[in-house]
Chains A and B, each alone.
Chain A
């Protein structure tokens, strides 16, 4: 399990239920590495400003990651951790690869994830 302040996605069922609910979700799929830690930290800092968004992490080296985020067409070609995927209404609305700063994350939350 990743040592972050985010909620964790640990099974395919949990992932599928979450996405199927149509909720706004941001999932950071990575390891406890130098490019990933800052993205978990950005999400943690933004949590209170975006109460309508569910912020999760997912361990990149687990079966759930291999069967879900790592298989998405949107992450095909990604070559930098973490893979960060944003969902709304049951589908992917944005995906980024590698480190992202607060401004970049906010742009997606305010743009693609806004009502």
Chain B
């Protein structure tokens, strides 16, 4: 079964939901297809305090409102969609979703965002939920009075390490370089905390344990010295990667996997626009994602109108 739309938005995070809201409000028949949970990274944010017009709210609450707003203008949302194929060339773009059918539209906005980077070790998946976590606020209290480690060296890693000292008896920060990428104030806060110790220039090699995690094995990058750090919990904050692997042969992207656009969010393919964290840009915030989404939808509606003229 093939269903026709004026605009398809791939990705239902801040950028995609905003694009859909603008598209639907411009009377474009709009479909959002999300391969995961609508809201994307906003769902990972307990408290957003820098989204203008909202004093403070959980990311999940903002998602709920954005989604309702887009749907109230007529946008349709398919979540947890299993996308089998995306064709971007030609006058008609198409997306095949398993169990749902084929969706076609003259314009498409790519807003697939980014996801937490993982180390890619087999043992990492084995201990997820049994010692390995990506969310300090969610799982910190499971490690009360226990020794834990935080892997990473950016702001998130250092800030979360400090917050985890409320629960844990010690926090070892394991980082790959001899310096931190975090802001100086975050580094200073961590260094001042007596429960935090640092293991620098390390490559994490493995996670050990039986039923649950018992240690992290790492190796010094220059000397090769192997360290076994006994811990019952590990929190990973090692950055984000754009969800664009599937776009490599379809549009122009840079060496970091970010989609190249002009300032109207047009990509290298006519009728294909991009918005949000998956795009090449300097600052990644909810405000910049919604701005991209609005611009992309306005540009897409102009494009669709130009086809009819």
Contacts and interface: CB of A to CB of B under 8 A. Distances in A.
Q: Do A and B come from one complex?
A: yes
Interface of A: 3, 31-38, 41-42, 45-46, 49, 77-81, 96-99, 101-102
B130 A33 contact: no
B123 interface: no
B211 interface: yes
B136 to A, nearest CB: 10
A57 to B, nearest CB: 14
B280 to A, nearest CB: 26
Interface of B: 36-39, 43-46, 58-60, 64, 79-80, 82, 99, 128-135, 137-139, 142-143, 211-212, 232-233
B129 A96 contact: yes
A34 B41 CA distance: 9
The 4 A-B residue pairs whose C-beta atoms are closest, nearest first, are A97-B129, A98-B129, A80-B129, A38-B37
A80 B138 contact: yes
Contact of B46 (A34, A41, A102): A34
A101 B34 CA distance: 13
B185 to A, nearest CB: 24
Nearest to A34: B44
Contacts of B60: 3, 32, 34, 37
A79 B212 contact: yes
Given A38-B37, A41-B80, A102-B80, A33 B129 contact: no
B129 A79 contact: yes
B128 A80 contact: yes
Given A45-B79, A77-B130, A98-B129, A33 B137 contact: yes
A34 B130 contact: no
B138 A41 contact: no
Contacts, number: 80
Contacts of B133: 35, 79-80, 98
A17 to B, nearest CB: 28
A77 B131 CA distance: 9
A42 B131 contact: no
A35 B79 contact: no
A35 B37 contact: no
A80 B43 contact: no
Contacts of B46: 33-34
A78 B128 CA distance: 9
18 contacts: A3-B64, A32-B58, A33-B138, A34-B43, A34-B135, A34-B137, A35-B138, A37-B43, A41-B38, A42-B80, A45-B79, A77-B212, A78-B129, A79-B130, A79-B139, A79-B232, A97-B130, A102-B80
A1 B211 CA distance: 32
A37 B37 contact: yes
A49 B98 CA distance: 13
A62 B46 CA distance: 20
A37 B135 CA distance: 13
A36 B129 contact: no
Contacts of A42: 37, 80
A12 B70 CA distance: 39
Given A97-B130, A98-B128, A79 B143 contact: yes
A78 B130 contact: yes
Contacts of A99: 128-129, 134
Contacts of B134: 35, 99
B77 to A, nearest CB: 10
B139 A35 contact: yes
A38 B129 contact: no
